[in-house]
């Protein structure tokens, strides 16, 4: 029977309660505790190995995604270059056959020069907190309302 890590911890607690002499506080049965502790360690290590495997697979998928993204971008860029070439060759002429139609439509776009003065009502401003700067300020002893520095522990598997 394979116990979960949680159940093994429960079993260790039960074993300690049962194997400790109530009067002297002496542990009577070390063997069961050692056995459970070995199971716990083995289970924890196996879980850590599984996590490493999942992270390695995730990285492999990320590399494949990046490769596919690069290929897609290259194809899109190539299609745009060829579209530009076709556009310069046919220069507004409508051409078609049974499978495809080359036609033109009018469109508009806004061109903004570097020296343009954009009115405030047409500006979008995104405000994001500078967490690195806030962290350093908090470490330096500066106090901000509603902002605290939390101490956390994160598991590391190497």
Whole-number pLDDT of residue 152: 84
| 3-6 contacts, C-beta under 8 A, 24 or more apart | 3/39, 3/43, 4/43, 5/40, 5/43, 5/44, 5/47
Cα 39 from chain centre: 32
32 — pLDDT class (breaks 50, 70, 90)? confident
Q: Which parts of the chain are beta strand (E)?
A: 95-96, 101-102
Q: What is the mean pLDDT of residues 35-58?
A: 87
Instruction: Compute the half-sphere exposure of residue 136: CA atoms within 13 Å on the CB side of its CA.
Output: 4
Q: Give the chain's mean pLDDT.
A: 87
Does 1 have pLDDT greater than 60?
A: no
Residue-wise pLDDT for 112-134, tens only, equals 999 999 999 999 989 999 999 99
12 — pLDDT class (breaks 50, 70, 90)? confident
Torsions phi, psi for 37 (to 5 deg) = -65, -40
Residue-wise pLDDT for 49-106, tens only, equals 989 999 999 999 999 999 999 999 999 999 999 999 998 998 888 999 999 999 988 8
For the chain, the maximum distance between any two Cα atoms, rounded to a whole number of angstroms, is: 102
Q: Are 73 and 79 in contact (CB under 8 A)?
A: no
């Amino acid at each position: 029977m394979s116990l979960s890590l949680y159940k093994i911890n429960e079993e260790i607690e039960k074993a300690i309660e049962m194997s400790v002499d109530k009067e002297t506080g002496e542990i009577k049965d070390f063997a069961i505790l050692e056995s459970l502790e070995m199971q716990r360690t083995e289970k924890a290590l196996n879980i850590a190995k599984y996590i490493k495997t999942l992270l390695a697979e995730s990285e492999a998928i990320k590399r494949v995604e990046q490769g596919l993204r690069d290929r897609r971008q290259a194809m899109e860029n190539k299609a745009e270059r060829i579209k530009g070439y076709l556009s310069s060759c046919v220069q507004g002429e409508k051409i078609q056959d049974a499978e495809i139609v080359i036609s033109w439509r009018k469109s508009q776009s806004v061109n903004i020069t570097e020296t343009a003065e954009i009115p405030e009502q047409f500006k979008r401003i995104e405000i994001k907190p500078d967490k690195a700067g806030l962290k350093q300020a908090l470490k330096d002893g500066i106090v901000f309302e509603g902002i605290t520095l939390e101490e956390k522990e994160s598991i590391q598997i190497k």
